[in-house]
Amino acid sequence: MALITAEQVKAAYDALATGKRDHIAEHWAEDMRWLVPGHNRLSGWKDDLDAFIDFMAEVGRLSGNSFRMDAIAVMFADDFSADVTHNLGNRAGEPDRILDIDVVHFLKWRDGKVIEGRGAIFGDGTTQYDAFWA
């Protein structure tokens, strides 16, 4: 077991924000899985790195690239991490359709790369999340 650090978690998200597959693959495993919460067009499992990158590209497209995750806290133990973020964005072409929620991402790591992630949204944030992506 390797101890995950806050720096590794930040580096993984920073790589993801570049949209560059080679850079993303330095931090996210090819065989990774990601569970998107909710009941909307984006919800469900993304079963490999390409599906996850496609999901993130769709988030960018649907939000007019306004979607952002602002880090609040990162916790880690052994091969796991959990990060709390404030997620904010506007729906593309609909400036009054706003996403403004707090989220926890639970990540499992192997050999310094994320191999599984799950998002969790709390309270009325789940309803807002589903309505935003509907």
Span 71-87, pLDDT tens digits: 999 999 989 999 999 99
Tokens found for residue 55: 């999901």
Instruction: Give the domain ranges of the chain.
Output: 6-133
Span 6-133: which CATH code? Answer: 3.10.450.50
> In degrees, to the nearest 5, what angle opens at C-alpha 103 toward C-alphas 116 and 111?
25
Phi and psi angles of residue 47, each rounded to the nearest 5 degrees, phi first: -95, 10
How much is the mean pLDDT over the chain? 95
Q: What tens digit of pLDDT does each residue of 13-38 get?
A: 999 999 999 999 999 999 999 999 99
Cβ burial of 34 (10 Å; 0-12, 13-18, 19+) is: buried
Q: pLDDT digit string (tens) for 112-128?
A: 999 999 999 988 899 99
Strand 44-46 vs strand 28-36: parallel, antiparallel, or unpaired? Answer: antiparallel
Of residues 3 and 83, more confidently modeled: 83
DSSP β-bridge partners for residue 91: 94
At a CB cut-off of 8 Å and minimum separation 6, what does 16 contact? 24, 27, 28, 56
